[in-house]
A = this chain, B = another copy of it.
Amino acid sequence: MAKIVTMGEIMLRLSTPGYQKFIQADNFEVNYGGGEANVCVSLARFGHKTYFVSKVPDNPIGECAVAALRKHDVNCEYIIKGGERLGIYYLEPGASMRPSNVVYDRAHSSMSEAAIEEFDFDTIFKGADWFHLSGITPAISDKAADLALAALQKARELGVKVSMDFNYRAKLWSYEKAGKVMTELLPYVDVCIGSKEDAIYILGMTPSQKPDGALADDVTKDMFQQMIERFGFQCMAGTMRESYSASDNGWSACIYDGKEFYHTRKYDMRIVDRVGGGDSFAAGLICGLVEGKGIKEALDFATAASALKHTIPGDVNLVTRSEVERLMNGDASGKVQR
């Protein structure tokens, strides 16, 4: 059981029930989540000792967000209270060829205006085995980007292994801004989660081969290689989503550690809720790596875990380790367990 720390924003998600458009909804389903918070809950469900670092408003809505994590056994003692508001995102779930629609209302959130001094990272990282961050946190504000950098530096200083997920959000920042900030942060990262597109569009890297002629996996391996060389990652991994429609996706992942490149089997998923799919992958990968599994086994676990996430409503992956292992071992028949 490892001590794993994640830091980020937790938001209130308000979604319409039954595929309704916003204009039809008389009530919203309430969930609390966010990139790193989702990772944290999933790792807690897998049995690790997880800590979430954040700032929420000192009001009942902030309290609800914390309780939602605590319910799943996330340690919340490093969540501070204050600031103006809890960020919100409105979600209109898509179906078939109609995409899900997200409306952000997250500006001025407590976490986006939190200051470095408010967190005692020496205490937070004491005895920690792993620290995870996503590219959403530095995207929400300059202050949050500074906070992310400070945390990464302290984690490196204290010997905590660090993973970071690009998680690029076009509604939060531009490629240019993302490139500038991520370039500062990535040197402190051990395990990076991203895609060849992140390397090309955000970091401005150039594939060695012309992409059109090359196989997708070759380009991916090339870009992962370049990233590893530039930032010194131990390994880099990423998911491949094939969006046939909002209802059906293909899902696989690949990993590269400078030596071996591995691409998992592909899952064809009937989607219940795809939000948090990437986060559940990150959680699965961290779970495998922190437990000392090889990169292939860790990746297989992560891919099965995140495929299952797509069958669960809400942001967070509530599957158990044994459910993941059953799928990982090949039983995708969905037969009733009775």
Binding site for B on A (CB under 8 A): 14, 17-30, 59-61, 63-64, 67-68, 70-73, 84-86, 88-90, 92, 94-105, 107-108, 169-171, 243-248, 267, 269-272, 274-275, 307-308, 310-314, 318-319, 323, 326-327, 331-338
Question: Which single residue of chain B is at the shortest CB-CB distance from A104?
Answer: B338
Contacts A27-B30, A67-B23, A243-B333 given; does A97 touch B338 at CB 8 Å: no
A137 vs chain B, min Cβ distance (A): 16
Is there an interface contact between B26 and A14, defined as CB atoms closer than 8 Å?
no
| Most chain B CB atoms below 10 A, which of A68, A169, A311 | A311
Q: Give A210 to B275 CA distance when docked, in angstroms.
A: 48
Contacts A19-B272, A96-B311, A334-B99 given; does A26 touch B26 at CB 8 Å: yes
Q: Give A274 to B59 CA distance when docked, in angstroms.
A: 22
Is there an interface contact between A30 and B23, defined as CB atoms closer than 8 Å?
no
Q: Give A104 to B71 CA distance when docked, in angstroms.
A: 24
Q: Give A97 to B17 CA distance when docked, in angstroms.
A: 23
A interface: dominant SS: loop
Count of identical protomers in the assembly: 6
A10 vs chain B, min Cβ distance (A): 15
Is there an interface contact between A337 and B245, defined as CB atoms closer than 8 Å?
no
Q: Give A198 to B86 CA distance when docked, in angstroms.
A: 33
Is there an interface contact between B333 and A23, defined as CB atoms closer than 8 Å?
no
Question: Which single residue of chain B is at the shortest CB-CB distance from A273?
Answer: B19
Is there an interface contact between B63 and A97, defined as CB atoms closer than 8 Å?
no
Q: Specify which chain B residues have a CB less than 8 angstroms from the CB of A68 in the assembled complex.
A: 71
Is there an interface contact between B337 and A101, defined as CB atoms closer than 8 Å?
yes
Rank and list the top 5 A-B pairs by shortest CB-CB distance, nearest first. Answer: A246-B334, A71-B71, A102-B338, A243-B333, A96-B270
Q: Specify which chain B residues have a CB less than 8 angstroms from the CB of A24 in the assembled complex.
A: 313-314, 318
Q: Give A164 to B25 CA distance when docked, in angstroms.
A: 32
Is there an interface contact between B270 and A100, defined as CB atoms closer than 8 Å?
no
Q: Give A267 to B245 CA distance when docked, in angstroms.
A: 11
29 inter-chain pairs at a CB distance below 8 angstroms, sorted by A residue, are A14-B14, A17-B27, A23-B64, A23-B72, A23-B318, A24-B314, A28-B30, A59-B103, A60-B103, A61-B90, A61-B103, A70-B70, A71-B71, A88-B105, A94-B336, A97-B333, A98-B312, A99-B334, A99-B335, A99-B337, A100-B334, A101-B336, A102-B337, A170-B338, A171-B338, A246-B311, A246-B334, A247-B334, A275-B336
